[in-house]
Amino acid sequence: MRLLAESDNSTDECTFALLWRQSTLNSQQPLLYVCIIATFTHSLFWLQFIFFSSIRQKSMQWIYAYLVTDILLVIRFFFLFIIHTLVIGCQPSEGWYLFICYFEATLDNYLNTLEVYILLALNICRHAQIARNKNVYETNTGLLTVAHLAIYILPLVNLLGQILLNWAKLDAHSSDICDLRFSATSVQIYNVTVAFVLPISLNVFVIYRSAHYIQLTSHLRRGQHHISARDKYHRSLVIQFLVFYIIWLLLWAPNIIVFQLQSKNVQIISICQLLNFIEITIDPMIIAGLDKRFYRVWKDIWKCLKDTFSLRMNPNLRQIAPYAS
């Protein structure tokens, strides 16, 4: 496989140079700052997971799986940033160059595809909870395991299959960007359908079914002049997911669309990636803000900090009153 790499000072001796040009480095710096902030927000979130058992629940497994993909995307960026800015070797081995290029060209799309299907699985489980009053996390553990494996393995098989069949070919069209090029428009249509249209359409359908069920039951309850706590909770689940999904879709979709349309404009790619990383940065805050379990944890933390601050400001509060005989 012949790979071409161009640079400002390209020579025959630097065919496989990995170092970014200054223009590309400048376009990537905003992503670096956002990823640093994302590291901070995700660290705070996982510290809550470590220290508070109330949020370590089976019903949150899809949320945590989704946030793990966020972390992997951030790690991917840091790894590539280090490789493209600190690796000075003019001519690394072709094997290493191919590994970096495939890593750069495929992992982002793979992880983003995982995210959209993880959210679909979360939505389906919540619909089962709402429409069938069924805790699938307790009654269908085997099916959940199969779902996890399918979500992680099938997109990988799909991606590797396209590469092996030459439907997708590695293209190092500059010294800065490694990407996949699809052999035909039909392959692009297939990928857009699998990675975008199908999961988004299914998610919208499941959200609609959940909302429709809640509307029907609320009309029945209204006739009985009674709205149960369960109905209120189910309504809050749908609203929470809908708010999160709209924000997520607006920030996530451009990156996927640009990848499938195979834009060669580095600036457009960087802007879409920036939107994606902004979404990654705010994911923990949105999820925590919409879930009452995290609100209770925050409330406990605030109370603890407030009590600690009060004790430090008023040491006399710690004194034990004299014993009265």
**In the predicted model, is pLDDT for residue 4 greater than 50?**
no
| Token couple for 34 | 């956002």
Domains of the chain, with CATH numbers? Answer: 12-296 (1.20.1070.10)
pLDDT of residue 317: 53
Q: Rounded distance, CA 210 to CA 176, Å?
A: 46
Neighbours of 228 (CB within 10 A): 12
DSSP H or E segment with residue 179: strand 179-182
Least confident of 7-21, 37-51, 136-150, 197-211: 7-21
DSSP H or E segment with residue 170: strand 168-171
- Tokens 């200054």: give the residue: 22
Contact 283, 69 (CB under 8 A): no
Structure confidence by residue, pLDDT tens digits, 168-192: 988 875 557 788 888 888 999 999 9
Count of residues making up the chain: 325
Which residue type is seen at 51? F
Tell how far CA 58 is from the center of its chain.
19
pLDDT of residue 11: 39
DSSP codes, 258-302: HHHHT---HHHHHHHHHHHHHHHHHHHHHHHHH-HHHHHHHHHHH
Structure confidence by residue, pLDDT tens digits, 47-78: 888 888 888 888 889 999 999 999 999 999 99
Q: Rounded distance, CA 278 to CA 38, Å?
A: 8
Residue 109 CB burial class (10 angstroms; 0-12, 13-18, ≥19): buried
| Token couple for 172 | 């190092």
**In the predicted model, is pLDDT for residue 25 greater than 70?**
yes
Q: In sequence order, which residues have a C-beta less than 8 Å from that of residue 314 and are 6 or more positions away?
A: none
